[in-house]
């Protein structure tokens, strides 16, 4: 005789992160931002959008809403640094120009990394977002910022295993290292050439146009990414275009990447039906 066993899906376990996350408070972040929960009522992923040099978060907040990714909330951040010599709303993630108005060849991204560290720390601790459900999308300088922060976050994870107190219990559970969910950089190279004892497992998609399109990646950019990240894919767009992906065909590989990397939560209240032979 066959027995039918019905039990609640494990997705509704009390140990799971909350299905609807706490929205970030305005005073919690040092910069303006736009946040929207997922349209379908399940905040399983958070997509953080970072604008390029000389822009603000407003166009990227509109982009985040248009994407309508399933089970994905969006957070568009504005950079903290005003671009010098300009009077309109124009921001940068780190100092990009010298006193003469010339582009700095080797900029220091520390200011942007510190900002993102505060933001992600708040999102994890106060809003209950698991790090592996936090995904980044950045354009040009914003892409560089996302990639540099991914390296910084992973380096901190590795460092945390070296400062643990010594224990005589050889059976103690090793710490769980938590990388970020994914990173998409649109024409944004890494600014540094990191050396890591263990490559960061966060999957990275680098989308770029070949020269003479602007912006385009400097030579050797993919090599630098592969010195930091275990999984690096690239998509080459048409050299005839400029800036962000601008057609359905150019967005298709990005959407496919997200379809593979974004998490999925089984809807709460569903039940699994398991059949088995009685004994």
pLDDT in the model for residue 275: 39
List pLDDT tens digits, range 166-200.
Answer: 444 544 555 678 899 999 999 999 998 888 889 99
pLDDT in the model for residue 6: 42
CB 142 within 8 A of CB 112: no
16 inside domain:
no
pLDDT-derived band of residue 267, with 50, 70 and 90 as boundaries? low
CA distance 184 to 194: 18
47 inside domain:
yes
List pLDDT tens digits, range 40-81.
Answer: 999 999 999 999 999 999 999 999 999 999 999 999 999 999
194 inside domain:
yes
Total Cβ atoms within 10 A of residue 59: 15
38 inside domain:
yes
13 inside domain:
no
pLDDT in the model for residue 175: 60
Three-class DSSP labels, 92-138: ECCCCECCCCCECCCCCCHHHHHHHHHHHHHHHHCCCCCHHHEEEEE
Q: Please state which of the ranges 37-46, 202-211, 268-277 shows the lowest mean pLDDT.
A: 268-277
Close Cβ partners of 26 (under 8 Å, ≥ 6 residues apart) = none
Provide the percentage of residues in the chain whose pLDDT is more than 90.
Answer: 67
pLDDT-derived band of residue 107, with 50, 70 and 90 as boundaries? very high
Range of 4-13, 16-25, 50-59 with top mean pLDDT: 50-59
pTM, rounded to two decimals: 0.86
Instruction: Tell me the two tokens of residue 224.
Output: 């630098």
State the CATH number of the domain containing residue 140.
Answer: 3.40.50.1820
pLDDT-derived band of residue 271, with 50, 70 and 90 as boundaries? very low
List pLDDT tens digits, range 223-248.
Answer: 999 999 999 999 999 888 778 998 99
pLDDT in the model for residue 11: 43
59 inside domain:
yes
Residue 158 pLDDT greater than 80, yes or no: yes
**Structural domain containing residue 203:** 33-160+177-261
pLDDT-derived band of residue 268, with 50, 70 and 90 as boundaries? low
User: How many folded domains does the chain comprise?
Assistant: 1
One-character DSSP codes across 135-199: EEEEETHHHHHHHHHHHHHHHHHHHHTTSSPP-S-TTPPPPPP---SEEEEES---SS----SS-
27 inside domain:
no
22 inside domain:
no
Looking at residue 266, the DSSP 8-state letter turns out to be P
- How many alpha carbons lie under 13 Å from residue 149 in its C-beta half-sphere? 34
pLDDT-derived band of residue 27, with 50, 70 and 90 as boundaries? very high
């Amino acid at each position: 005789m066959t027995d039918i066993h019905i039990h609640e899906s494990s997705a509704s376990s009390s140990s799971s992160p909350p299905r609807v996350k706490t929205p970030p408070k305005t005073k919690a972040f040092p910069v303006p931002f736009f946040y929207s929960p997922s349209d379908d009522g399940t905040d399983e992923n958070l997509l953080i959008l970072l604008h390029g040099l000389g822009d603000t978060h407003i166009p990227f907040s509109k982009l985040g809403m248009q994407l309508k990714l399933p089970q994905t909330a969006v957070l568009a951040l504005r950079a903290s640094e005003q671009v010098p010599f300009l009077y309109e709303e124009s921001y940068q993630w780190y100092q990009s120009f010298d006193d003469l108005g010339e582009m700095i060849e080797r900029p220091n991204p520390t200011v942007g990394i510190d900002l993102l560290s505060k933001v992600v720390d708040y999102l994890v601790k106060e809003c209950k977002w698991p790090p592996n459900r936090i995904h980044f999308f950045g354009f040009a300088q914003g892409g560089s910022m996302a990639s540099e922060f991914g390296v910084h976050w992973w380096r901190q994870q590795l460092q945390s295993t070296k400062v643990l107190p010594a224990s005589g219990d050889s059976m103690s559970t090793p710490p769980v290292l938590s990388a970020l969910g994914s990173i998409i950089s649109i024409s944004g190279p890494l600014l540094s050439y990191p050396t890591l004892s263990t490559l960061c497992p966060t999957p990275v998609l680098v989308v770029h146009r070949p020269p003479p399109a602007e912006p385009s990646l400097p030579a050797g950019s993919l090599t630098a990414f592969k010195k930091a990240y275990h999984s690096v894919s690239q998509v080459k767009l048409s050299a005839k275009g400029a800036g962000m992906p601008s057609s359905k065909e150019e967005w298709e590989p990005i959407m496919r990447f997200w379809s593979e990397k974004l998490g999925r939560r089984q809807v709460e209240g569903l039940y699994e039906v398991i059949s088995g032979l009685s004994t």
